[in-house]
Amino acid sequence: MSWLILVLAGIAEAVWALALRRSEGLTRLAPSVVFVVALLLSMAGLAYAMRSLPTGTAYAVWVGIGASLTVGYGMITGAETASLWRVLFLAMIIGGVIGLKAVES
pLDDT in tens, 48-68: 999 999 999 999 999 999 999
Count Cα neighbours of 80 within 13 Å in the Cβ-side half-sphere.
Answer: 14
Average pLDDT, the chain: 95
- Provide the residue range defining the domain that includes 22: 2-102
Rounded distance, CA 14 to CA 45, Å? Answer: 13
As a whole number of angstroms, the distance between CA 70 and CA 97 comes to 15
Is 105 a residue whose pLDDT tops 70? no
Overall domain count for the chain:
1
* Prediction pTM value: 0.91
Give the count of beta carbons closer than 10 Å to the beta carbon of residue 53. Answer: 21
